[in-house]
């Protein structure tokens, strides 16, 4: 399993980075990204600490540990600048919190996020075919999520992403130990979202490609 969207107690998760990484390792993860929620109030505090934790912990695990950030509930006009700042502060993966159906995310967030070119637009809700096509053009992956609530739109996201030819990834959006999953569970979630059997391996390969790109930088 490669999971590029998780949370620690640096935002609303319950685990220290060290415990989250340990639990992911025991679960057989090949890579994990630490992507705590950030906005203008905590970006400069959270990202350097996740980067330091990932740097130190990487000496003790074979799996890839990637520092990142999830830009969350930020006005669309500010997203582009925050994506840039997150990268400058050491975020190797930048996620933007999409227009999930279970939170009052500002309209226009999906489009602004895609235009800012993060790595992943998480749980993008009722994303339009136009925005999915732009995501393909910009190289932004669209997320199928294991997270309860956010996963209500998985079927729509999968359908629109496939129609547009956009890159699809699957993540857990983990906040607690119980949120971590194994590959077999991820496969079941993809099937339930309507991903064809012959395309499931491609979804996992998409995540691996993101990890490979980061490793090469």
Question: Which of 82, 4, 74, 100 lies closest to 43, judged by CA?
Answer: 82
Dist. CA 38–CA 96, nearest whole Å: 10
Number of domains in the chain: 1
In this predicted model, what pLDDT tens digit does every residue of 134-151 receive, in sequence order?
999 999 999 999 999 999
In terms of DSSP bridges, do strands 31-34 and 37-38 run parallel, antiparallel, or are they unpaired? unpaired
pLDDT band at 215; cut points 50, 70, 90? confident
Count CB atoms within 10 A of the CB of residue 107. 9
pTM over 0.95? The answer is yes
pLDDT for the residue numbered 216: 81
Q: Which domain holds residue 75?
A: 2-216
Percentage of the chain exceeding pLDDT 70: 100
Dist. CA 205–CA 91, nearest whole Å: 22
In this predicted model, what pLDDT tens digit does every residue of 42-85 receive, in sequence order?
999 999 999 999 999 999 999 999 999 999 999 999 999 999 99
pLDDT for the residue numbered 115: 98
Q: Does the pLDDT at position 125 exceed 90?
A: yes
Do 14 and 176 contact (CB within 8 A), yes or no?
A: yes
pLDDT for the residue numbered 155: 98
63: domain CATH number is: 3.20.20.140
pLDDT for the residue numbered 55: 98
Do 125 and 98 contact (CB within 8 A), yes or no?
A: yes
Q: Does the pLDDT at position 132 exceed 80?
A: yes
pLDDT for the residue numbered 71: 98
Q: Does the pLDDT at position 202 exceed 90?
A: yes
Q: Per residue, what are the HEC states of the chain?
A: CEECCECCCCCCCCCCHHHHHHHHHHCCCCEEEECCEECCCCHHHHHHHHHHHHHHHCCCCCCEEEEEEEECCCCHHHHHHHHHHHHHCCCCEEEEECCCCCCCCCCCHHHHHHHHCCCEEECCCCCCHHHHHHHHHHCCEEEEECCCCHHHHHHHHHHHHHHHCCCEEEECCECCHHHCCCHHHHHHHHHHCCCCHHHHHHHHHHHHHHHHHHHHC
Dist. CA 107–CA 180, nearest whole Å: 30
């Amino acid at each position: 399993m490669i999971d590029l969207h998780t949370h620690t107690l640096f935002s609303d998760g319950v685990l220290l980075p060290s415990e989250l990484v340990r639990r992911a390792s025991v679960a057989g993860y090949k890579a994990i990204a630490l992507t705590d929620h950030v906005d203008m109030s905590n970006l400069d505090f959270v990202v350097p600490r996740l980067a330091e934790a990932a740097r130190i912990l990487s000496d003790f695990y074979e799996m890839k540990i990637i520092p990142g950030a999830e830009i969350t509930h930020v006005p669309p006009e500010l997203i582009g600048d925050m994506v840039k700042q997150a990268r400058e502060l050491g975020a190797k993966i930048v996620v933007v919190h999409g227009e999930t159906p279970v939170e009052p995310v500002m309209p226009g967030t999906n489009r602004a996020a895609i235009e800012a070119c993060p790595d992943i637009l998480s749980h993008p809700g009722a994303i339009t075919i136009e925005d999915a096509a732009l995501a393909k053009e910009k190289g932004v992956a669209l997320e199928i999520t294991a997270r309860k609530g956010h996963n209500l739109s998985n079927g729509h996201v999968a359908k629109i992403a496939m129609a547009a030819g956009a890159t699809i990834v699957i993540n857990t959006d983990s906040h607690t130990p119980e949120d971590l999953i194994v590959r077999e569970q991820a496969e079941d979630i993809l099937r339930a979202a309507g991903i064809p059997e012959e395309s499931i391996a491609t979804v996992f390969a998409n995540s691996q490609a993101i990890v490979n790109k980061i490793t090469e930088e």
